[in-house]
Amino acid sequence: MPRLTKRYVDSLRCTDGDLVVWDDDLPGFGLRMRASGRRYYVAKYRAKGRQRWLTLGPHGVLTPEQARRQAARALSAAREGADPAVERREEARALTVADLAGRYLSQHAEPKKKAASLRNDRLNLRLHVLPSFGKVPLAAVTREDVATLHHALRETPTAANRVLALLSKMFNLAEKWGLRQDGSNPCRHVERFPERRRERFLNDDELARLGSVLKDVEQKGIESTGAVAAVRLLLFTGSRLSEVLRLRWEDVDVDRRCLRFSDSKTGAKRIPLNSAALEVLMALPRKAPWVIPGRDPTEPLVNLAKPWKRIRELAGLDDVRIHDLRHTHGSSAAGAGLSLHLVGALLGHRQPATTARYAHLAEDPVREASERVGLRLAAAMGGAQRRRSRSTMSGARRVPERPSLQRPTST
């Protein structure tokens, strides 16, 4: 057989069953392939008169050269009387969930996840995972353990599902790293809770109150100019909080009337800069690289939680989250008759399903238009037709007018 190289391994195919391709240079070192597409580097040797298999790791995580070096060490140890597979299992038994959490953060989350997602992972580990079974041996965690933790968080189903997803990823990586047997993920068959999608949009009266409070707290110096501007930009652009707080002046293109976000949740994107948002930006000083600087002007404002809590209480909007300003932007667009495609473009959605929550709002202008057309045609057909329509429609529920969601002039 030829020497195992990346190009050669990538070219191999396994359409049925289990296939092992051996390396020509190092006897006992090979690649195990499965019809599912998974590929693992392995070493085969004899210990105490019995044939042993040692899984080194998956192709892609290990290069052929890295796997070959591991195999060479294992095969050399076996010739001297050791049993590397048994030693690997004993090491895995000694590892705890806390050990896996540390490796997950350092080798997966920190290099691959955005800052906000990394913070959420750290928080879920600290509050839920580690207190529950951080000291439990990794190999001893069962489906019942995971289901018990998930059930304990049932009052907050979304949070419970995020913890379950985090654990599932951690245990998938444990299998990939050879720390647990393949197919042993204890999160399998633990059912997620149905998530109650929250829909909270500000109506015209609430927008007017918010606009009045923003103007008042800014004039009286109760809140900083930056914090007030951030709230207005969230509403006028429909951007995410992280996008607004990380916005640099170099990302503001006044000539082309757009904002550029190089590292948003959905990747790089550009959104239009409307007149209301432009007016907010033009009123801000440019004394720092950040549009919304923190106390240290070389750093952005980190959090808007406390200013927003004070603002919403003054406006009588106690149940409104900061993210609901983005929802209000989307609902206003849908209520104005824009297609869901355009609403998604305004909000920077990559998946149409994400915009589907605004579908019922987009139907309102169509319903109103249908009502106007129907009344006009009925009027043209004469009074008799109108009287007949009234008699046949008696008791029918009148379609209420939906308040428009326009920006209040007070802001």
Statement: residue 196 has pLDDT above 50: yes
Instruction: Identify the CA nearest to 338 among candidates 282, 300, 347.
Output: 347
Place of tokens 């654990």: 167
Residues 54, 150: Cα–Cα separation, whole Å: 34
Domain contains 409:
no
Q: 275 and 212, same structural domain?
A: yes
Are 32 and 40 contacting, i.e. CB atoms less than 8 angstroms apart? Answer: yes
Please, what is the average pLDDT of the chain?
82
Per-residue pLDDT, averaged over 320-335, amounts to 83
**pLDDT tens sequence across 222-246:** 999 999 999 999 988 888 888 899 8
Amino acid at 303: N
Residue 161 lies in a domain: yes
pLDDT tens figures, 20-66: 999 999 999 999 998 877 888 999 999 888 899 998 888 887 889 99
Question: In terms of domains, do 356 and 208 share one?
Answer: yes
In this structure, are residues 59 and 9 in contact, taking their beta carbons and an 8 Å threshold? yes
CATH number at residue 57: 3.30.160.390
Choosing from 360, 377, 401, the residue where a domain stops is: 360
Whether 376 shows a pLDDT value over 70: the answer reads: no
CA 291, chain centre distance (Å): 25
Q: What's the pLDDT tens digit per position in 63-120?
A: 899 999 999 999 999 999 999 988 877 776 778 999 999 999 999 999 998 887 898 9
**Pick the residue with more confidence: 344 or 56?**
56
**pTM across the whole model:** 0.54
Is 45 within 8 Å of 78 (Cβ atoms)? yes
**Is the pLDDT assigned to residue 191 strictly greater than 90?**
yes
Q: Comparing C-alpha atoms, which of 188, 291, 278, 315 is closest to residue 230?
A: 291
Question: Which residues, in sequence order, are bridge partners of residue 261?
Answer: 269
Query: Measured between alpha carbons, how far is 289 from 299 in angstroms, rounded to an integer?
Result: 8
Do residues 124 and 268 share a domain?
no
More confident residue, 253 or 377: 253
**pLDDT at 409 (0 to 100):** 43
Domain range holding 63?
6-82
Split into its structural domains, the chain has a count of 3
Bridge partners for 22 per DSSP: 30
* Per-residue tokens: 179: 């720390």
Burial of residue 208 (number of CB atoms within 10 Å: 0-12, 13-18, 19+) = middle
Q: Are residues 119 and 220 in the same domain?
A: no
Residue 214 lies in a domain: yes
Residue 404: is its pLDDT beyond 60?
no
pLDDT value for 407 = 41
Highest mean pLDDT, choosing among 35-44, 141-150, 299-308, 388-397: 141-150
- Mean pLDDT value of segment 365-383: 61
